Amino acid sequence: MAAKEKKNAFYAQSGGVTAVINASACGVIETARANRDRIGKVYAGRNGIIGALTEDLIDTSKESAAAIALLRSTPSGAFGSCRYKLKSLEANKREYERLIEVFRAHGIGYFFYNGGGDSADTCFKVSQLSQTMGYPIQAIHVPKTVDNDLPITDCCPGFGSVAKYVAVSALEASFDVRSMAKTSTKVFVLEVMGRHAGWIAAAGGLIEDEGIPVVVLFPEVEFDEKKFLARVEALVKKHGFCTVVVSEGCHHPDGTFLAEQGTKDAFGHAQLGGAAPVVANMVKQGLGYKFHWAVADYLQRAARHIASKTDAKQAYEVGAAAVKLALKGHNAVMPTVERVSDAPYKYRIGVAPLDKVANTEKFMPRNFITADGFGITEACKRYLRPLIQGEDYPRYRNGMPVYATLKNVAVPKKLPTFEMQK
Amino acid sequence: MAAKEKKNAFYAQSGGVTAVINASACGVIETARANRDRIGKVYAGRNGIIGALTEDLIDTSKESAAAIALLRSTPSGAFGSCRYKLKSLEANKREYERLIEVFRAHGIGYFFYNGGGDSADTCFKVSQLSQTMGYPIQAIHVPKTVDNDLPITDCCPGFGSVAKYVAVSALEASFDVRSMAKTSTKVFVLEVMGRHAGWIAAAGGLIEDEGIPVVVLFPEVEFDEKKFLARVEALVKKHGFCTVVVSEGCHHPDGTFLAEQGTKDAFGHAQLGGAAPVVANMVKQGLGYKFHWAVADYLQRAARHIASKTDAKQAYEVGAAAVKLALKGHNAVMPTVERVSDAPYKYRIGVAPLDKVANTEKFMPRNFITADGFGITEACKRYLRPLIQGEDYPRYRNGMPVYATLKNVAVPKKLPTFEMQK
């Protein structure tokens, strides 16, 4: 056998992006560059795994060190993301064969996939290609999700920043309502992400420590309108105002989301989205209080300007750790954050087997939610507080943050076109 | 006549609050304290002018210098605000007589009112009390409004920070959509404040300079669905995605707001608010693009964490200038921001007669809006850019911004209770 050739790496971003997923990309690419003797080029998939399937690879070696460094403070996915889950090998063998063709054509031996639960599943399937299809590959999953719902890891990069955004925004808006409550708005409703798990909504509960009366509505707790209105009324009577943080996944006992209350527009079309206006209108109808509501949507997960320093740091570290794990010969694993202590906050980067990560969601434990279902416990606060610690401001120019837009130069194609399955 | 007694000052916050109205309060109080030889105490109205009418005064001398200094970086109204406009002297003479009783009882000779157009009207009426009711008072209006719609002054404190929030948030969310556009969201819609004037929406147009395809919907331009959809389609075809920034005041040619499209909830109640979901659904129905939408609402005007340094500075300066104007003997005036040059940005604090300010709204000039009605011109960008310059971060503790909550100690009452008119 000839002298061992350096293998190239494939990196892709998957699913909903975050304020710090590019920090993980930065960690992967900078660590690979620091190990040039063992890793060739890092090819990024344009729009996630689709870039691999369609041989649409980005040559990250064309980007300057400064451009890659700037990824650390740039929100969203610099190479494009996708919502696409590989089917099982049995159901769509053609896709796996194609992946191998692309990997072989471009000398790819490392597969770094940066995503949440669905992506962990895709990454796990790829990690099995050595066994199932005879192509030698090491696949490492880099954790990312604002939903904080991956198992084993103490937290998921992306979550700390959205938690900080939600806590800070809810606090600021609460100060606003408090100012206005005498003659105007008494209840402010903020809708946040989290279709299944209430971690993001929970972050809103942190404002209680700043003296704000707050009601949190979790997806983990069946919504009870009567109890909810009673709680709001009690808080407004006592404090003059209150803030409600509602998860988009908040639902009635029958499973229907609050946001799907049969609302129709003028043309009779079902009106999409918006748990906040539904909750706000309930408050108006039931209690007569003037309200305001906001839906943060993408603003919350893109808000790099108020990212958590802890989160940005961990996002970088799991990217760097993924490359180091690969160099140590690992396959089918995911770097994790292992908490050592709450206060002072200490953690180390650990590792989890991917088959234990894929397709498992981590919900809020019951002891993180108060007995009445409307707030977070001290145990939850102890968990959350370290994750929003520290500010990590981007650089600004002319009043605007300086975020990286990469050149994203395509790697010349070597294979025939591949038709994606619809 | 005995040795001239020092007069006390009354200060109140009025109307919708902002990220920097407390910086103006800080400017008023610190400047008054620096002139203790000539100004007695500063009494703040609890909840605006209502605090004066009900003799609910806050003794700001009970607050430490550190607490007052912290107001400079605290959003919202520290003394409470109100939405309450004094009627004319003819229509409600009783209220003016009451104001004079309260002023007299507490030795108040200076009246500082911190608000927008309606508040300027109230302030002007108070400024006339020397003439109309024989009570010697000097009333100075301190400009404040996120809407940026006061005349004469080049800009209104409060606006620069909301403009920065909108520009930064729209940029970040646009990066997000750009990442997702291949297989998911192609259009992001952000709803911002501005019922009559499109200044805040205009700030969203600044992201064009960062390479983002953006459509701005102003209240000043009648909404044309067909033209709008054609514009969105053209941008998505060219760039793969686009961002829409819609003013809450955007309306159809017949004057009805987009947000009032006859939408009803499951109970048949008119659904309140939300131009963004209406626009997003139009895009879905008309073009089939997947969308996301956000409504920033209070988050935008409370976002002290991303305040414009220029704005925070000017807010402080107009507060300080108001006190200096009073000490120079002025009445019925408002300090203004006078722009000297765009780049480098230079300005000075000027002064305007209050009768020219009250009840006049300043809309976006036509030459600030592009010919097609969907964007901002270079002239508008030249106007806006300086106003979002600089960051002025609050201090953080344990991951959360440190904002002032004052003691707000009540001044002992000396008068009988006053029944507010309903």
Note if B147 is an active site residue: yes
Reported as a pLDDT band with limits 50, 70 and 90, residue B202 is: very high
Residues in chain A within 8 Å Cβ distance of B296: 294, 299
- The reported pLDDT for the residue numbered B261 is 59
- Residues in A closer than 8 angstroms to B282, CB to CB, are none
Give the model's pLDDT for residue A420.
Answer: 83
Is residue B335 a contact partner of residue B323, using CB atoms and an 8 Å limit? no
Pick the CATH number of B159-302 from 3.30.830.10, 3.20.20.70, 3.40.50.460, 3.40.920.10: 3.40.50.460
Helices B275-287 and B225-239 cross at an angle (nearest 10°) of 70
pLDDT of residue B5: 73
Nearest to residue A322, comparing CAs of A345, A354, A356? A354
pLDDT for A261 equals 59
Domain B7-144+306-358+393-401 belongs in CATH node 3.40.50.450? yes
- The pLDDT tens digits for A393-417 are 999 999 999 999 999 999 999 999 9
Give the closest of B83, B188, B271 to A277, CB-based.
B271
Mean pLDDT score, A131-139 = 93
Asked if residue B194 belongs to a known ligand binding site, the reply is: yes
Q: Do A396 and B401 touch (CB under 8 A)?
A: no
Q: Is the confidence at residue B1, as pLDDT, over 50?
A: no
Count Cβ–Cβ pairs < 8 Å, chain A vs chain B. Answer: 251
B385 is in an annotated binding site: no
Under the banding of pLDDT at 50, 70 and 90, the label for residue B404 is: very high
Of B267, B295, B400, the CB nearest to A295: B295
Distance, in Å, from the CA atom of A195 to the CA atom of A260, rounded to the nearest integer, reads 13
CB nearest to A179's CB, from B77, B388, B390: B77
Q: In whole angstroms, give the CA distance from residue A55 to residue A47.
A: 11
Angstroms from B44 CA to nearest CA on chain A = 13
The whole-angstrom separation of Cα A239 and Cα A227 is: 18
Residue A2 has pLDDT above 80, yes or no: no
Q: What are phi and psi of A153, to 5 degrees?
A: -65, 140
- In order of A172, A201, A205, B398, B404, the CA distances from A210 in angstroms are 11, 16, 10, 11, 10
- B27-65 per-position pLDDT tens digit: 999 999 999 999 999 999 999 999 999 999 999 999 999
For chain B, give me the number of helices (H) and strands (E)?
13, 13
A180: closest chain B residue by CA = B81
- Please tell me whether B400 is known to bind a ligand: no
Task: Taking residues A72-99, report their average pLDDT.
Answer: 93
Q: How many CA atoms lie within 13 A of A318 on its CB side?
A: 36
Mean of pLDDT values over A117-134: 92
pLDDT at site B421? 72
Same fold for the domain at A7-144+306-355+395-401 and the one at A159-302?
A: yes
Contact, A393 vs A305, CB < 8 A?
yes
pLDDT at A330: 97
Which position among B56, B147, B149, B392 bears the catalytic label? B147
Cβ pair B389:A398 closer than 8 A: yes
Query: What is the average pLDDT value for chain A, to the nearest integer?
Result: 94
Q: Alpha carbon B59 to chain centroid distance?
A: 25
**Region of poorest pLDDT, from A163-167, A258-262, A362-366, B149-153:** A258-262
Answer yes or no: is pLDDT of A147 > 60. Answer: yes
Nearest Cα residue in chain A from B384: A399
Model confidence over B284-322: pLDDT tens digits? 999 999 999 999 999 999 999 999 999 999 999 999 999
| CB neighbour class for B339 (10 Å; exposed up to 12, middle 13-18, buried from 19) | middle
CB contact under 8 A, A183 and B277: no
For residues A316-328, average pLDDT = 98
Please give, rounded to a whole number of angstroms, the shortest distance from the CA of A329 to a CA of chain B. 31
Q: How far is A266 from chain B (nearest CA, A)?
A: 5
Residues of A in contact with B272 (CB under 8 A): 277, 280-281, 284
What's the confidence (pLDDT) of residue A273?
Answer: 62
Q: Is B298 annotated as a binding residue?
A: yes
B261 is in an annotated binding site: no
Which pLDDT does position A266 carry in this prediction?
46
Phi, psi (rounded to 5 degrees) for B170: -65, -35
Give the pLDDT confidence score for residue A358 in this predicted structure: 86
The confidence score (pLDDT) of residue A89 equals 86
Q: What is the pLDDT of residues A163-219, one digit of tens each?
A: 999 999 999 999 999 999 998 999 999 999 998 999 999 999 999 999 999 999 999
Q: Which CATH code, of 3.40.50.450, 3.30.1180.20, 1.10.1040.10, 3.40.1180.10, is assigned to A7-144+306-355+395-401?
A: 3.40.50.450
Sorted by where each begins, the domain ranges of chain B are 7-144+306-358+393-401, 159-302
Q: What pLDDT, on a 0 to 100 scale, did the predictor assign at position B266?
A: 46
Residues β-bridged to residue B335: B351
Is B145 annotated as a binding-site member? Answer: yes
Q: Is the pLDDT of residue B3 over 50?
A: no
Alpha-carbon gap, residue B250 to B44, rounded angstroms: 36
Cβ–Cβ below 8 Å for B298 and A82: no
pLDDT of residue A52: 97
pLDDT of residue A3: 44
Q: Which residues lie across from A214 on neighbouring strands?
A: A243
> pLDDT tens for residues B156-166?
999 999 999 99
Which one of A147, A149, A311, A392 is the catalytic residue?
Answer: A147
pLDDT band at B358 (very low <50, low <70, confident <90, very high): confident
How many CA within 13 A on the CB side of residue A9? 29
pLDDT in tens, B210-269: 999 999 999 999 999 999 999 999 999 999 999 999 999 999 999 999 987 555 544 454
Beta bridge partners of A406: none
Q: Which chain B residue lies closest to A14 (C-alpha atoms)?
A: B180
Which residues of A are less than 8 Å from B265 in CB distance?
A: 261-263, 278, 281
Q: pLDDT for A207-258, tens place per residue?
A: 999 999 999 999 999 999 999 999 999 999 999 999 999 999 999 999 999 9
Name the one residue in this structure whose structure tokens are 């066994």. Answer: A131
